[in-house]
A and B are shown apart, each in its own frame.
Chain A
Amino acid sequence: MAEIQTGDFVRQIGKKTNAGRVLEIRDRGGRKTIKIQFPNGSRKLPMDTVELVPDEADTPSELLSQGQLSGHKDFKQRIAHVRLSGNMSDVFYSMEATDTDFYAHQFKPVVKMLDSPSGNLLIADEVGLGKTIEAGLIWTELAARFKYNRLLVICPKVLCDKWRRELQNKFDVPAQIYDAKGLLELMKSPYSQRAGFAAVCGYQGIRPRPKEKRTGRPVDQLTEVLEEAQGSDKLVDLLVIDEAHHMRNRGTQTNELGSIATGVSQHTAMLSATPINLHNRDLHSLLRLVDDMTFRDETALEQIIRANVPLVAARDGLLSNKPFDEVDDLILRASRTPILRNAKSLPRLRRELLDKGAELRPSDRARIAAGLEKVNLLSNAINRTRRRDVEEFRVVRHVHAYRSVMTSQERDVYDRVTKAILDYADENDLPVGFLTVMPQRMLASSLPAALSHWRKAEAAFDCEDEDEDEDEDVPDEEETDRRPLARELGRVSSGLPDPKVLERQDTKFAEFLRAIREQLQSKPNQKIVVFSTFRSTLKYLERRLHENSIPTLLLYGATKDRGDVQARFEDDLEIPILLASEVGSEGIDLQFAQTVVNYDLPWNPMRVEQRIGRIDRLGQTAEAISVLNLLHENTVDDRIYSRLHDRLGLCKTALGGFEEILGREIKKLTTDLLSGKLTESEQDRRIADTEQAIQNQRQHEEELEREASSLIAHGDYVLGAIRDSRESKNWITENDIVDYIEFALGALHPGSEVRWLPEKSLVDISMTSDARHQYESWCTAMQVQAGSLARNASAVSFRVGKGEKRSRHPRLSPAHPLMRYLAGAVQEKDVLPPNAAAIQIGSSDCPSLKPGIYAGAVQCWVFGEGASSLSLAYGLVDCSTGELFGPDIAESIVSCCIASGSRWHSAVAEIDGEKTSELVDDDLGTDLDLRFHDEKDRRVGQIEDRIAIQLSALEHRSEERARIIEKQILNSPAGLVAANRTRLRNHLERTEQRRLEIKGQSVDDASYSDVSAFVLKVLP
């Protein structure tokens, strides 16, 4: 044996995983000793306890046979290290990493985004299910996996502040609101592109203008930068488009904005409450933004839908225990459809099915069904969750109508103003529409408030209607049309009784006051939200309630700090009432309130739903909420309420997403009813017709939705998998993070200090100067911000866990640069080589195993280099019977060991190391090998299918485009031929570039490595 010299690389004979370089050899008290520099510091050892490190390290099973068994702690550290790498396919990095409560459905989009072939997803959940949170979770997940740092949210302007607050408070993302100029800077500046950003922008400010109208304004420059980067540069890591239905109309500026913004983004999450009707053009145009290649035209969508029919039937058949040959037949049919003809996953799944044949076990069925679901092209492009699918929604709505009878004077005023409006419309030949309907609705809302407002002759009305604010196509001229009407209303109202007189006999307010007092008496500390569409009504109510000693807060479109009003309303027990308009309260979560009062009733039930949705949303703790509707008896409002809202139960159950149908029908009805040309019975008939039409349409839409649901299969399997994941704790806990930091910092930079204050959910970290220097250098090299930790010699606090939501400290998540630095350094210095461990556990902590001795192995499988490229594979065998356990059981046992295991101290004396090592090598090794190759085939199949589909879409589109340019070359004048040829050449080059990009996704290198082998004793 070669003699050990200073500078040699040696390891301990009794602990072969511990290797280091020899610093010094000397005699100490007659003993020859050797000083070795290990990764975590130097140590002196007797000379005869070390040996030179051989060329090939011992495998975990060899260590097992030599009895070199470490404990539970080392085992746990190795697993944590792989899990914290951020690339595990079966770990949710966003779970428990944000200040949100757990709802399984909110992780469904996270799963789908990771599986999405294009990296984009349309989230079309119903209102109130937390789409914002879903987008935040997607960001958290992607940031942890891909180390992303550029987030852009585009939303209606009114929601910008809400997004900023939610990102800050719930996801610890310091987002800022930008206009076109600010965004332009972020897109252009190399610093921002490197250091990252979280930007929130309103649609209105950054919509591209047509080329001919561009004048070099910031928005024009921004458009040019985005257009230039199309396809070639990715300027944004995740683009979130809120209320994406605004982009549904092709050819509009907003649609164009969607198109150019998605073109420069790695991932796009589009949020919209749009109902899913696969035959709907709007859906197609949104899907096109999500995945331009797959959903290139409506024919492609049709093809996908057709291919999905047998696919979904096969999946359902598997899950409902249909005979395997029947399922096989369906898979065969699916694989013959043009779009799936080349899909490699389908033959593999068929083979798997046929191999098992009649012996198909439930777990096999679930696995194959999951495989089929992944082939489904629609399911990975759309996520749709309906309220009825979510278990947490069990809130009952109690709906009450409070009808007041108008006094004769009130009735007289109401009739005279109505007549004046209709006469005005007649005289000026105005169609009955927005202009004439609004004053009438204002009148129905509150007579004294309306009259008082008109007397000031400021405007015809002061409503806060969403349509008015958001629709880009509202002509500016309309405002000018309002002025003569305002003058007319001012003139009419000056001839009417003084508003003060009407105020004294305001029967509606009296009824309202009674209702409010009843509510407050029955539940004294409850919070009530009172809605009106009109600012004048809200201000009137504020004054009147104040006079009645009821404190209120006011929230409408012009309110500057809406978050502050919301917080005051929630925290101040003295303020029971919030007066709000639906625009003002948009995006504000008021689930701590239990009563909604509609002081006036928007005729469009979707508006009513939006109001109720403020309190009937996730997080509502009451079992029932109250909806109080205020009406004047024997008015059009009353008739519409009785026949539509009441009878169709529109306030009672949440509306799915029938905005479009309801809006259309109600618009027609409104026009007819307010034309003043129908008698009362005609009005009744008209309402009945509308009721029927809505009913029919609703049924039809529900059928379409059902059909779409089954075809998209956005179903239970994913949800089940998420719940399983949660139960198996497939997420990174605060404990994992702190343990890992403590271990890694200690091993790499001893002297650094980690102090965890679990009661405050804080961890204080101070690093040695050497650690700070190395961390900062790493951050500079990786182009990420090191933050105060690299500058501060004293401790820096970070948040971990769920407590202290309002804490200002940054959150320490797996995506934090410190975690990434430590994981990289631990890997690089080989601090955690594969080992063997001996663990014991009580049978009560591990109920799925009988007392006895087991052997197991954990491997890390790597497929390519993507963000989900890693997975941990587990194997377990019973040492006495040689029985092999399935991967799921093995995984759950490892989880139990990590959570409740302890070191098995006498393992070396109790096991036969060589025999156990053979079991691990032969039985487990073979099993893991087979499973690895299976998994590799599955992943390769999946990715190749994705590539094949994308390539076929690319070829199709490219050929079409090339044909058009060639035609132009043939027909163009001689002077333009050369230019067009260049266009064609550029087009072909871009296609080639894209082709290479698509092919680059393939899994070329698949490998596995040992993480650990273990022996496990389950104690009786």
Chain B
Amino acid sequence: MKNPRKSENAKKLLDIIQRQQAKNRSGASHPDTKPVPRKIVPSKMPCIEDTKRQLEHIASDGALLQRVDPLPSPDLGAEAVLSKRLLAGTRLINETSRDAGLLGRLRGNRDRPPLDLVVGFDLGSTSSKVVLRFPYEEGLGSYAIPAPKCIQADGVAYYWRSVLWQDDLGRYSLVPSVGAQAHDQIKVDFMSVSNSEARKAKNWFTRQALVAYQALMIRQALGWVSQKLGKALDRHEIRVGANFGFPAKSYTKSDVFDDYEKCCQASVYLALGSDPITNESVQGALALEPWEAYSNQPPVTVVPEFIGAVLGFFMSNRRRTGQFILADIGGLTVDCVCFGYSEPRDGDPKLLIYAADVQKYGAEIGRVYAHDKQTSRAFSNAIGSFVCGPIIESHKKVGHNAPAWDGRMPMFLIGGGRHFGPFGPAFSWAQDSLKNSKFRTTFDVVDLKLDEEVDLSEARGKGCGRLLVALGLSHSDLDLPEWITPDELPDAPPAPHRDPDGGYIGPEQV
């Protein structure tokens, strides 16, 4: 039965939200300013389910989440920088022999050994990151690619705003030009359409935008690395591979996943060609079938995002086996994955995804909702409850005997939103809540450090923690552990039924 008072609170909140929406639509509030904090003072703290509902509502209404950063104006300097990079990138790849089924390039005399180069691509809702790595070359290392200032996200050199511009002639660009139209919901739009029919519709624009954006990003990144290392790359054959991140929750053979995989292949195909990236070339790339033509060459892999984040850890000397939890707190979403890592003596390392969940409980949504002590607490509790979900769900995969139920579970916290205050208490809440149940697990927060050896000189002291995923994804596909999704993972045998009489010593022995 519903609690009438809770419903009343929810109504009040909805009312305020609707009023705010109306106000925004009427233009009373400038679209470039932060949303005005709403004072919601429920007489009693809302229950977790109510809070979750309200958070979902805030997330579903775009008007409530006003863009904080305005879109940039045309910038000739940035345009010139990127044009040069794209040109260098095209020059670097202009000898690609696509017909021979090679996804890579041949250059010069090829009298030096081939170089493998991996692109790690982390497409975010608001910011994207790209890291290039030569995984087998001591002297070349890994490079996070910096963005021109006007399209940097949060003022960090290596965070690219996930925005694409298209001019009247159908040409795509990463920087604005006069009259160009901006697409700033590339990922959100792509992920939100689950209808397979709509997805398959010819020329569905969102796919094109995604492919164009990724292709441009990869090509300019290759150009940047060519500018930076020119001499060192001379006379080498370069084999390019790419890894793209994908939310773990959706990482099953779904339409969205299949479509994304195809888009990624098209992006790489396009990036490694010399054609300008236009509506036409993108459509051409998307129309190419079958993909097998070049799929056996340095691969294009779609990897659960969280693996990118933790790959550095599991490739480092700090790695250990066991059960882990990871929470990726973004601006809009919070991803939570409970997974295991094992290194069998006679096999390859494995990453077992026990359970994963993603919800739109990100920091920006939290900021709208949690504006006072009480709502902050309610928000923390809701997040805590959300975090408990995958842990509890993992029980059926790992069984009742898993060591983590009685001990420490390493917890990785990543994402730009994790510094938002109410997230802190959420994990204590989750831990206490677990302790009250049959789990005696304690969280052991483990720092995920950026590889000290990656060049971050342009960050000028600013934290670049959100590069973790791209950095991890830039490892060679051979370094990626084999991952097994919850669907592929069998359930653990149930706990044996306790027979209270089994241990009974008969009356004759008493």
Stretch of B28-36, B71-79, B225-233 at the chain-chain interface: B225-233
A977 to B463, CA, bound (A): 89
B138 on interface, CB distance cutoff 8 Å:
yes
B residues adjacent to A (C-beta < 8 A): 113-116, 134, 136-141, 143, 228-232, 296-297, 299, 316-321, 343, 348, 452-453, 455, 457, 476, 478-479
B141 touches A40 (CB 8 A): no
A211 to B: closest C-beta gap in Å: 62
If A29-B296, A909-B229, A909-B230 touch, whether A746 touches B134 (CB-CB below 8 Å) is no
A59 to B: closest C-beta gap in Å: 15
A73 touches B139 (CB 8 A): no
What B residues does A742 contact at CB under 8 A?
A: 317-318
B317 touches A48 (CB 8 A): no
B455 touches A17 (CB 8 A): no
B133 to A: closest C-beta gap in Å: 12
A382 on interface, CB distance cutoff 8 Å:
no
Q: Which 9 A-B pairs have the closest CB atoms?
A: A746-B317, A30-B296, A15-B138, A14-B137, A905-B455, A908-B232, A44-B478, A67-B139, A71-B453
What A residues does B348 contact at CB under 8 A?
A: 35, 44
B232 touches A67 (CB 8 A): yes
Which of A17, A45, A745 has the largest count of B CB atoms less than 10 A from its CB?
A45
A908 touches B136 (CB 8 A): no
What B residues does A18 contact at CB under 8 A?
A: 138
A745 to B457, CA, bound (A): 30
B141 touches A71 (CB 8 A): yes
A70 touches B116 (CB 8 A): no
A33 touches B478 (CB 8 A): yes
B138 touches A46 (CB 8 A): no
If A29-B299, A73-B452 touch, whether A838 touches B139 (CB-CB below 8 Å) is yes
Residue in A15, A30, A746, A838 whose CB lies within 8 Å of B137:
A15
What B residues does A747 contact at CB under 8 A?
A: 317
What A residues does B116 contact at CB under 8 A?
A: 46, 49
CB neighbors of B among A1-48 (8 A): 12-18, 28-30, 33, 35, 40-41, 43-46, 48
What B residues does A33 contact at CB under 8 A?
A: 478
A48 to B104, CA, bound (A): 16
Q: Chain B residue with minimal CB distance to A48? A: B114
A46 to B297, CA, bound (A): 12
If A44-B478, A905-B455 touch, whether A49 touches B320 (CB-CB below 8 Å) is no
What A residues does B139 contact at CB under 8 A?
A: 14, 66-70, 838, 907-908
B303 to A: closest C-beta gap in Å: 15
Instruction: Tell me the interface secondary structure of chain B in the complex.
Output: loop
A743 on interface, CB distance cutoff 8 Å:
yes
B113 touches A909 (CB 8 A): no
A49 touches B452 (CB 8 A): no
A residues adjacent to B (C-beta < 8 A): 12-18, 28-30, 33, 35, 40-41, 43-46, 48-49, 63, 66-73, 742-743, 745-747, 750-754, 838, 902-903, 905-909
A46 touches B452 (CB 8 A): no
What A residues does B457 contact at CB under 8 A?
A: 902, 905
A750 to B318, CA, bound (A): 7
B228 touches A906 (CB 8 A): yes
B317 touches A906 (CB 8 A): no
What B residues does A43 contact at CB under 8 A?
A: 478-479
A743 to B317, CA, bound (A): 7
If A67-B232, A746-B316, A907-B139 touch, whether A751 touches B321 (CB-CB below 8 Å) is yes
- 21 pairs, A vs B, C-beta closer than 8 Å: A12-B138, A14-B138, A29-B296, A35-B348, A43-B478, A43-B479, A44-B479, A45-B476, A45-B478, A46-B478, A48-B113, A49-B136, A66-B139, A68-B138, A72-B452, A746-B318, A750-B343, A751-B319, A903-B453, A905-B455, A909-B231
Residue in B232, B455, B478 whose CB lies within 8 Å of A28:
B478
A41 to B320, CA, bound (A): 12
What B residues does A743 contact at CB under 8 A?
A: 317
If A49-B113, A742-B317, A746-B318 touch, whether A17 touches B478 (CB-CB below 8 Å) is no
What A residues does B143 contact at CB under 8 A?
A: 905
Which of B141, B343, B455 has the largest count of A CB atoms less than 10 A from its CB?
B141
What A residues does B229 contact at CB under 8 A?
A: 906, 908-909
If A29-B296, A30-B297, A67-B232 touch, whether A40 touches B479 (CB-CB below 8 Å) is no
A244 to B134, CA, bound (A): 66
Q: Chain A residue with minimal CB distance to B142? A: A905
A66 to B: closest C-beta gap in Å: 8
A751 to B140, CA, bound (A): 28
What B residues does A46 contact at CB under 8 A?
A: 116, 136, 478
B138 touches A69 (CB 8 A): yes
A345 to B: closest C-beta gap in Å: 44
What B residues does A909 contact at CB under 8 A?
A: 228-232
A66 to B296, CA, bound (A): 31
B232 touches A14 (CB 8 A): no
Q: What would 19 more interface pairs be, CB under 8 Å, given A18-B138, A28-B478, A750-B317?
A: A13-B136, A14-B137, A15-B136, A30-B296, A35-B348, A43-B478, A44-B348, A44-B478, A45-B478, A46-B136, A48-B114, A69-B138, A70-B138, A743-B317, A746-B316, A903-B453, A907-B139, A908-B229, A909-B232
A14 to B140, CA, bound (A): 9
A751 touches B320 (CB 8 A): yes
Which of A41, A73, A747, A909 has the largest count of B CB atoms less than 10 A from its CB?
A909
A17 touches B138 (CB 8 A): yes
A675 to B: closest C-beta gap in Å: 81
A747 to B453, CA, bound (A): 17
What A residues does B317 contact at CB under 8 A?
A: 40, 742-743, 745-747, 750
If A746-B317, A751-B321 touch, whether A905 touches B138 (CB-CB below 8 Å) is no
A12 to B140, CA, bound (A): 14
A45 touches B136 (CB 8 A): yes
A142 to B427, CA, bound (A): 48
What B residues does A44 contact at CB under 8 A?
A: 348, 478-479
B286 to A: closest C-beta gap in Å: 23
What A residues does B343 contact at CB under 8 A?
A: 41, 750-751
B313 to A: closest C-beta gap in Å: 11
B136 touches A12 (CB 8 A): yes
What A residues does B231 contact at CB under 8 A?
A: 908-909
If A30-B297, A751-B320 touch, whether A903 touches B455 (CB-CB below 8 Å) is yes
A109 to B370, CA, bound (A): 64
A753 touches B320 (CB 8 A): yes
A600 to B194, CA, bound (A): 97
What B residues does A906 contact at CB under 8 A?
A: 228-229
A44 to B67, CA, bound (A): 45
A73 to B114, CA, bound (A): 26
What A residues does B297 contact at CB under 8 A?
A: 30
A43 to B136, CA, bound (A): 11
A856 to B388, CA, bound (A): 54
A71 to B299, CA, bound (A): 28
What A residues does B455 contact at CB under 8 A?
A: 903, 905
A30 to B138, CA, bound (A): 25
Q: Chain B residue with minimal CB distance to A748? A: B317
A69 to B452, CA, bound (A): 15
What B residues does A838 contact at CB under 8 A?
A: 139
